[in-house]
Amino acid sequence: MKTRICIIGAGPAGLMLGHLLRSEGVDCVVLERAGPDYVLGRIRAGVLENVTVDIMARLGLDARLRAEGLVHDGFNLAYGERLIRIDIAALTGKHVVVYGQTELTRDLMEAREARGLEVVYEAADVALHDVGSDAPYVTYAKDGRMHRIDCRFIVGCDGFHGPSRKAVAAVAGQAFEKVYPFGWLGILADVPPCNHELIYANHERGFALASMRSETRSRYYVDVPVTEKVEDWPDERIWDELAIRLGPEAAAHIVRGPSIEKSIAPLRSFVFAPMRHGSLLLCGDAAHIVPPTGAKGLNLAASDVLYAAEALLAFFKRGDGDAIIGYSDKALARVWKAERFSWSLTRLMHRFPEDGPFERAMQVAELDYIASSRAAQTAIAENYVGLPV
């Protein structure tokens, strides 16, 4: 098989890129190691910046998002019994939209046939070859035999553990990484949220987050040591811990219910640079990971995809090779700013095992400053709602 662009990974980033390319008449093929049901079963983020919403609108795939998405004009930082509301609408003139990544992926999947976007699911043993050349190719196994796709470019949208980043020689890139000493234990339940906006809480027992996927489905988190196991956390223990950490005001409105899903997600900050090597471009988690504090993961992937699409379209429509060369620097400029924000908010709202009285006093001082400073709140709001692309 021959195509101009082979996209590895059919999550939201890969599908979004495929739609952007096909909408401009550029042929591409998407490979996905899992089946469509597995892809839709992944429980992920749900706070969308303007960049992500705008891409869906550009593709004409935002009808359900506009109908079902929850528009949020602010969010909250809690510590002790104090709740600091960051009014992002008043401070920036913008807002975010709560719409589950699963639903976004569903919208992209259901529209692929009408767009003429070819997706090969259950593609095993995907391998990238000659990525440093002008004639790369991809091999994979399906239906008991090997297949080969010859292309001009490969775009890796296959996550942190996928084969794309591994295809870049060690001498051609550098990894920057910080691994955190805790993970987020999440519970998803069909109960109304305790607040109409998100609450990020810093408590002496640890971090907590009150979030939602809809007006009837809630997503809550508490941070736990990385050594913890999900089976040691029955539902009631999680609900009890949330009621303590989120504070009395939120606790009074928590509706308990059986969990639909529970999992522990480790936290790390990670960047691989550059995000291009020869004819291979990396997007999303294949190139970077952010802690979920601040909801940047999916939105960073969307901005990567937008930059990659612009560069690839410039190459194929105008013969502009400089756009491909400039992709990595352009994407990384936004990535590092988002990494800084996610790292700083994680540092502010979590208790680290090595912290002593001084570090705790600094957290309290910072939160007190944020509570009383419009300038500090504006800086947080600008980053939370998403920096310009």
- 77: phi then psi, degrees, rounded to nearest 5: -110, 125
Does the active-site annotation cover 292? Answer: yes
Unique residue bearing structure tokens 């502009």: 320
**Residue 253 bears catalytic tag:** no
Q: List the catalytic residue out of 72, 203, 288, 330.
A: 72
CA distances from 75 to 43, 111, 268, 362 (A): 21, 32, 23, 22
The structure tokens 């259950």 sit at: 122
Rounded Cα gap, residues 296 and 384, in angstroms: 8
- In angstroms, the CA 127 to CA 100 distance is 31
Verify cis geometry, omega within 30 degrees of 0, for the bond prior to 292: no
CA atoms within 13 A on the CB side of 137: 10
| Long-range contact set of residues 337-341: C-beta below 8 Å, sequence gap at least 24 | 337/383, 337/387, 338/290, 338/294, 338/296, 338/299, 338/300, 338/383, 338/387, 339/269, 339/271, 339/288, 339/290, 341/294, 341/296, 341/383, 341/384
- Lookup result for tokens 């913008």: 94
Q: How far is CA 316 from the centre of its chain?
A: 28
Active-site residue 38, yes or no?
no
368, amino acid identity: D
Q: Is 19 a catalytic residue?
A: no
Q: Is 4:153 a contact under the CB 8 Å cutoff?
A: yes
Query: Amino acid identity of 359?
Result: E
Residue 350 bears catalytic tag:
no
CB 40 within 8 A of CB 188: no
Three-state secondary-structure class, residue 210: strand
Quickly count: other Cβ atoms within 10 Å of residue 89's Cβ: 15
- CA–CA separation, 288 and 134 (whole Å): 25
Beginning with the edge strand found earlier in the chain, give each strand of the sheet holding 70-72 in spatial order. Answer: 47-48, 96-98, 70-72
Name the DSSP letter for residue 285. Answer: G
Distance CA 261, CA 239 (A): 14
Q: Which of 200, 220, 221, 307 is catalytic?
A: 200
Write down the catalytic residue from 296, 307, 330, 350: 296
136, 288, 292, 307: which is the annotated catalytic residue?
Answer: 292
Residues forming the active site: 72, 200, 292, 296, 384
